Each structure stands twice: as C-alpha cells, then as structure tokens.
Structure 1
Amino acid sequence: MKTIKLAVIGAGARGFLAYMPYVQRFPREVEVVAVAEPNEERRTRFAEALNLTPEQIYSTWEELLNQPKLCDALLICTQDQMHYQPTVAALKKGYHVLLEKPMSNNPMECVEMEKIAHEEGRLLSICHVSRYTPFWQKMKQLINDGLIGNVMSIQHNENVGYLHYAHSFVRGNWRNDVLSSPMILAKSCHDMDLIRWIVDADCTKVSSFGSLGHFRIDNAPAGSTDRCTDGCEVEHTCPYSALPFYMQDLELNPFAALIADPPTETNRMNAIMEGPYGKCVYRTDNNVVDHQTVNMEFENGVTVIFSMCGFTRDINRTVQIMGTQGEIRGDLLRGSIDLFEFSSGTQTVFYTPTSSSGHQGGDDGIMRQFLSDLRHERYMDTLTSAEASLESHLMAFAAEESRRREGAVVDMKLFRQSFVATVH
C-alpha cells in the first residue's frame, strides 16, 4: 500500500482534533509532512503530536505553498472565508485537496474552485463527512434497494442543541455571517448535501423562513450583565451561563477544551473573563438565525421540508422519508432506522454502529475514502467531490437569499445559471 503524504493548513479543531487521530492510528496509510498554522500554540501542539521538524512547520499557507511541491495532497481546514485562496493556489500547484466544509461563504468562489479542480484534473473533495457514516449509508442503501418505492417527500430536522448553539453560533467563531457564513451554510450544508444525495435529483425551487428570534439584547433578563462574571444577578439560573458550562470536566464537555490552548482550568477561566466565551448570550455581536425552515422541490417531484433549530435538548438529526411503498424514520443519535413496508405491513428496525471518531464515524470515513481515491487515482465523480458538493451549496445560498427576501421562491435553474454562466 502506497503511503499518501499530506500537508495540513489550519491546525485547529478540525485540522488537528478531527482528522489527525486517523493519521496517528494508521501511519502506514498516511504521513503528514508539513503544517501551516498562524497560532503558535496550535502549531507547536500539532508539530509535537505528528513528529514534525522545524523545517516542516510554517506560520502561513503562503509560506507552505511557496515551497517546491511537498506531498500528494493538502488538507485545508481554515475558517470559512479563508478557503478559496489556499485551495486555488494548491490546485494550480498540482496538489489534490481535502477541503473542510463549507467550500466558501461566496457562491462565485464555490463555482470557481470546482471549475479549477476540473481543469487541473485534481481531486477536490469536500468534508461532507455525514455521507460516510453507517447511519446515512444504510438509509441510502434501503432507498436504493427500492424498499419504500419511489421517494415522494422528506422531513429532515437538524437539532443543534441549545448549548452547542450558544457555544458555536452565539459566542463562537460562527456567530456572525460577516466573520464566517450564514447558519444554513456554516451548520446546515451537511443537511443540504444529505438531502441532495438522498433525493438524487437537481433542486428546482427553494423558499425559506427564519430569524434570530431569541439571542438579542432586547431579550436580556433584568439584572444580567455584559459578562457572566460581572456580577450577573441571574447567572446561577441561566441555562447559558459560561461558568458551569466551560468549567466542567473536559471528558463531560468537549466544547470546554476549545476555548483555551491548553485548556487548563486557569486558562479556561481567563477565557471566560476576557474572551467571547464569557459574554452574555444576549449581548454578543451574533447575527445568524437561531431557527430556520427550508422548503424544496426537486426535478423528480420530491418535496422536502428541512428544519434547523438551536432550541433542542440533544445534538441530533432526525428524518422521515416517505415513499410510494413504505416509510423510513431515522434517529441519528440512537443509530436507529425504522423501516415500514406497506404491502406486508412489516416493521424492521436497524441499529447502525457508532464510532468514537467524530460525526458518528464520518471523520474517519472521509479520511479513509480520500486516501483510497488518491491511491486509485479517482479524481472525478467521487462521493463528496466538489462537483457533487456545489449543487447543495447553491441550494443553501438560495435558501439564504429566500429568507432575506421574506420567503420568496427562488428558481434554482436561474439562480444556478447566474453563477455558473459568469464563471464559465
């Protein structure tokens, strides 16, 4: 087996914590030969964990890409608005790329990256890790096997989890679409991708409704303060208080490990007292929606209702897929898929395996597939290629446009052409 050599741009939660465990477990499959990361502590931590020498460490992606070609492929895990430039530069330098989702927060950049990958004959795979989980693959198999006939309608719910939402989308890196991406893209492009994959047809119409309904200054409780540590009178009863949440044992709360490097108790307390993670959830510069629905119609007649909500107990996805001969109900958190067949009246419940790796095994799955695609020189039409991903990204952009236009129906053919025609 050929050992694939990679370089990593962005050594944060995804570039390091999500994908490097696979590298460390399977050193005969893959070797990391360089990293580019502007944060010194993250850069040092990554280098020590992957046994990199000082000559293999760069503070910027520009420094790394200015070197002679170092390896087979790059793993690019920068922030959303920082994907386009290193990806294009890498493709043109001859690298294959595994790119963290979303591709970009700019639809023109998404179209351009897909076009360049095609022209250069390079594999550009997008980290839609959900497609590689046993849960979603089993569901896709049941549909392909015809057990519910033709799919007619889907109801898909993304339950973000109230504490996850507060951490990532009120206080965290994805709280403001100017700094990152709209919620439908930053969080729910996984769901747009899954829906497009399951329906297996192009989307024709999109409409969307949603808003930032709760986490605003006018909803701040009486007696609350700018920070949880400023003598807030309701801190001890607030479900979003930073103190009990981020000072938990790291084994119980993985989000707590993300607010400081290294996440010692002292560093975490300093982060709460001085950084964004200690801000009152009603007094941040957040602007992304906390609830949103998207209505979609596809060329094959399938209709889909998607709902994202930040006010849920669990972090979970649930789905109901209704076909002409049966129905499937799925619960990702429990790994259960409930199949009911109309003709026989039989009900079968499948339980899919879980994994200790992130996204129910999807993080490991996409690494395994990307390396396999490189070894076998499968550069086009892969499971999560840029070509496949582009369509679901445009669905997300159309949904956001509709939401901003008070639910106006967006014609996807015209919307798609407005970007693709410009680039091509």
Structure 2
Amino acid sequence: MSEKRGNSFLTAIVIGAGIRGSIYAQYAHLYPNKLKIVGVADPREFYRGKLQQRFDIKDDNCFSDWSEASERDKMSDCVIITTPDRLHKDPVVAFANKGYFILLEKPMAVNEDDCREIVKTCQENNVIVAVCHVLRYTPWANKLKELIDSGLIGEVVNINHIENAGFWFFAHCFVRGNWHIEAESSSSLLAKCCHDVDLINFWMAGRRCTSISSFGHLSHFNKESKPPGAASRCMECPADVESKCPYSAKKIYLDQIKQGDKEFPVCVLAEDPTIESVTTALKTGPYGVCVYDNDNDVMSNQVVNMQFEGGATATLTMAGFTKSVGEREVKVYGTKGQLSCTANSDPVIKHYDFLTGKSHEYQAKPKMVEGMKGYGGADFYCMDSFVSSVTENNETTISTGPEESLGSHLLVFAAEKARKEKRVVMLQPDGTYN
C-alpha cells in the first residue's frame, strides 16, 4: 500500500453514476479538501454528464464503459463501484489488479463464487476495500455493539431484528423496479437485507452461526390479488378501482411530482421529472404497470432464523408491508437485561436491567449531512470512514472489509438455500454449508 497521505486529498473515479454513485460522490462536494472526483463511467449519457458537470471532470476521463477506465494507466487513488448488483465482480477484479482502493456498493456480488473471487483478488493486491454495509458505521449500531460487548445485559440469548421495507418502497423496487426478478438481479433478501444479516453477525461477533433456516412468500403482489376491473396499467385503471389501491402509480409518483418534489423515487422514472415526463413513463414504462399484473418473483416477506455457537439465536424479519421505510427495530435479550432500539432519524437505545428493575436511555443521534442522509446518515459515516482509512493507510477503521462481508453474504446465501429447499442448512467453520 501507499505511504500515509497526510493532509493531501484523495482522487476517485465513480463507476456507475446513478443514485448510489451520486450520493457517495457528494462527499467530494462537501469536503473537496479530502476527496476529488476525477473520472466517471456510465453507459447512460445523461447521468454520466451530470456527474461530469458537477465535478468539472475532463472529457478524457468520462467513459461509457467501465472497462475503458480500467484499461488506462492508474488515474486515481480510489474507485467507487456502484454498478447494478450483477455487475460488481468484474470491475472490482479489474481495478483491484490495477492497485486501486475500492468502495463497493452492497451486495458485494450475487453468488458465492463471485464473492470469494473478489476477496481473493483484493487480498492478492493488498488494496483497501470497504463494502457498503453502511449501517455498521452509524452511532446507534456501534453503541449497541459497545453495550453488548461491555456485558451490560450479560450473555446474549437472542436478537430480534425487523427490517421495515415500506409498502410503496417495496412496490417501487421489488415489484416494478430493478430488483423484481431474481434471475436478473438478486433475491430480495440479499438486495434489501444483507445489511441486516451483517448487523446481526456484527453484534454476535465472536460467535459463529452454526445453522440457519428461512421461510418466505410472495404475498399480495400476484395476479390472484388483482382487483376486479383493474387495468394492466395504473393510468388506464378505472377511477373507482384506482382510487382504492394504495399501490397506484398515480399516488406514488404523480402526487409526489405535483408537490414539486423531484427526488427519489420519481427521479428514477425520468431524467428530468416533470408532470409530463413522469406521466409518459407511467404510460409506457415498468413503473406504470399494475402491481398485480407484473412478472415479479422475489419474496415480499421473509424470516431468517439463526443458531449461533453457545446456543444464542437470532431472528430477522423482512416486512414489505409497513408504513415506515427502511426503519430497523432491534431487541437484544441477555441474561441480565435487554436492549431495544428503533433506528429512525433520532434513535434512542433503551436498556432495562433485570436486577435493579431500572431503565436507562442512550442517545445515538447521527450527524445528518446534506445529500448523504440515506440510512439515517449512514452513507456519510461509511464514506468518511473509507476516505480516512485510505488517507491514513489504516484499515482498522473499516469494519466492512471483503473478508468480513463475505461471512455475512454466505449467511444470506445459506438462508436462501434453506428457504428454497425447505430445510435447515448447517454451516461449517470455514463458512461452507451443506
């Protein structure tokens, strides 16, 4: 690795100029003395051009294909890889072989072989890599770990973790959107909840998961649930039917744009979201298709049950039908007390002591940085950790390196195997499973 960089700023190329790539690049806008974006690769001219203009990137450093950038002599310190899930492995391998430090959007890859190849290549090239399990970097997640590790609640017996996906968010991403067909993207458990499996593994550090089971179902978003008289597109649906549908694209997208809000999710539908452009997208594109008349096949609700060494258990619930979006609810039960936390914009960790009967609260309010407020500020914390690690040549501040993230991904793959084969999957010490 390079020598400690002191106060000099890092340089980075963004591979994938969509929402996630733009969010991570925002760090360079906020802290130009720490990071400078010097290149961008994206097949979509509009999004590539937006990032180029925003950071005044030279024409020679703008690419329609990431491979063009990887074939050049090393042109920056880092690369930020935010391509679609199934297009992670190849750019990671190519840029690691060139000696780039890497920030990799989760999931690291969609199958075990690709994940292991990423780990192997990064180890061989001795490069710093951070996988964007951004929740690990939040104050609330780290405070929970600190309290657990302190022995405050004795020995951990069970962790109960709920991921509230959000009813409209799930319909947007996993019924109409890029993650609605597993073969073209990944399972909803991997795409939505590899964060959560990773957190459980993080809090259970020092204990190995020995067995895992999972159950799931594609509930409601199917042809059997389609209301009588509903059309195949929301824009064509009779008013008396559409008005009673909480998943109507008119409600989700047109109501938002009418309020002057051009951010997510309408920004996904059109390059320049307006009433006209969004209406056209709903009439012709995938986001205007009836949620009951689509070809989606991923689970809309799922539970994962884990047994750890020593007998501790954990349960993860992915719920697609919730009011809140992305809000985690965590309860940790120990032999001497319990901890609970709802990870919203102002999370508070509550402790109850079995011996004294007393309760105490720990504040864990995150720093909310403009343009990087995703996941309760986690995007900022993850990026800040990565930049600091590379600048100081110190990997210890990265808690989601490739080896650590591989362990979490293997648990997700094992859970999916258990669900599909309707059995308990046993895990070996080396991470392999039967």
- Length-normalised TM-score, structure 2: 0.93
Instruction: Supply the RMSD in Å over aligned alpha carbons.
Output: 1.6
Residues 286-320 of structure 1 show CA distances to partners (whole Å, capped at 9, x for unaligned) of: 11000000000112422001111101111211011
Instruction: Judge conservation of contact 1:182–1:288 (CA < 8 Å) in 2.
Output: yes
Distance 1:287 1:209, change over 3 A: same
SS at match of 2:179: coil
Distance 1:380 1:25, change over 3 A: closer
Instruction: Judge conservation of contact 1:23–1:30 (CA < 8 Å) in 2.
Output: yes
Residues 332-391 of structure 1 show CA distances to partners (whole Å, capped at 9, x for unaligned) of: 125121111122221012232142521111101111110111112234783110111000
Instruction: Judge conservation of contact 2:14–2:25 (CA < 8 Å) in 1.
Output: no
Alignment partner of 1:159 out of 164, 167, 189: 164
Distance 1:68 1:95, change over 3 A: same
Instruction: Judge conservation of contact 1:114–1:124 (CA < 8 Å) in 2.
Output: no
Q: Which residues in structure 2 correspond to 1:343-382 (within 5 Å)?
A: 343-354=355-366, 355-356=368-369, 357-379=373-395, 382=398
SS at match of 1:254: coil
Q: Pick which of 165-174 and 356-365 moved more.
A: 356-365
Counterpart in 2 of 1:422?
Answer: none
Distance across 1 between alignment mates of 2:187 and 2:430 = 18
Alignment partner of 2:8 out of 2, 6, 11: 2
Counterpart in 2 of 1:322?
Answer: 333
Instruction: Judge conservation of contact 1:154–1:320 (CA < 8 Å) in 2.
Output: yes
Counterpart in 2 of 1:389?
Answer: 405
**Residue 395 (structure 1) shift:** 0.3
SS at match of 2:140: helix
Counterpart in 2 of 1:146?
Answer: 151
Q: Percent identity?
A: 38
Distance 1:77 1:134, change over 3 A: same
SS at match of 1:187: helix
Instruction: Judge conservation of contact 2:217–2:302 (CA < 8 Å) in 1.
Output: yes
Distance across 1 between alignment mates of 2:316 and 2:260 = 33
Counterpart in 2 of 1:241?
Answer: 248
Distance 1:414 1:216, change over 3 A: farther
The one-letter amino acid paired with 1:202 is R
Alignment partner of 1:298 out of 308, 315, 321: 308
Instruction: Judge conservation of contact 1:96–1:123 (CA < 8 Å) in 2.
Output: yes
Q: Pick which of 283-292 and 340-349 moved more.
A: 340-349
Residues 173-193 of structure 1 show CA distances to partners (whole Å, capped at 9, x for unaligned) of: 111111111011000000010
Distance across 1 between alignment mates of 2:388 and 2:72 = 26
Counterpart in 2 of 1:409?
Answer: 424
Alignment partner of 1:221 out of 219, 227, 236: 227
Matched, 1:263 2:273: yes
SS at match of 2:172: helix
The one-letter amino acid paired with 2:219 is G
Structure 1: gaps spanning 5 or more residues: 420-424
Distance across 2 between alignment mates of 1:380 and 1:86 = 24
Distance across 2 between alignment mates of 1:353 and 1:286 = 37
Matched, 1:118 2:123: yes
Instruction: Judge conservation of contact 2:389–2:397 (CA < 8 Å) in 1.
Output: no
Distance across 2 between alignment mates of 1:325 and 1:418 = 33
SS at match of 1:172: coil
Matched, 1:398 2:414: yes
Distance across 1 between alignment mates of 2:58 and 2:114 = 34
Counterpart in 2 of 1:339?
Answer: 351
The one-letter amino acid paired with 1:319 is V
**Residue 143 (structure 1) shift:** 1.3
Distance 1:352 1:379, change over 3 A: closer
SS at match of 1:31: strand
Instruction: Judge conservation of contact 2:208–2:429 (CA < 8 Å) in 1.
Output: no
Aligned residues: 417
Distance across 2 between alignment mates of 1:31 and 1:255 = 28
Distance across 2 between alignment mates of 1:105 and 1:301 = 30
**Residue 141 (structure 1) shift:** 1.6
Residues 140-162 of structure 1 show CA distances to partners (whole Å, capped at 9, x for unaligned) of: 12112221111111111111110
Q: Pick which of 247-256 and 289-298 moved more.
A: 247-256
Instruction: Judge conservation of contact 1:11–1:36 (CA < 8 Å) in 2.
Output: yes
Instruction: Judge conservation of contact 2:414–2:433 (CA < 8 Å) in 1.
Output: no
Instruction: Judge conservation of contact 1:398–1:415 (CA < 8 Å) in 2.
Output: no
Counterpart in 1 of 2:93?
Answer: 88
Distance across 2 between alignment mates of 1:250 and 1:397 = 41
Alignment partner of 1:193 out of 171, 184, 198: 198
Residues 121-173 of structure 1 show CA distances to partners (whole Å, capped at 9, x for unaligned) of: 11121000001111111111211222111111111111111011011111111
The one-letter amino acid paired with 2:229 is G
The one-letter amino acid paired with 1:321 is V
Counterpart in 1 of 2:3?
Answer: none
Counterpart in 2 of 1:276?
Answer: 286
Instruction: Judge conservation of contact 1:293–1:307 (CA < 8 Å) in 2.
Output: yes
- Length-normalised TM-score, structure 1: 0.95
SS at match of 1:27: coil
Distance across 1 between alignment mates of 2:360 and 2:340 = 11
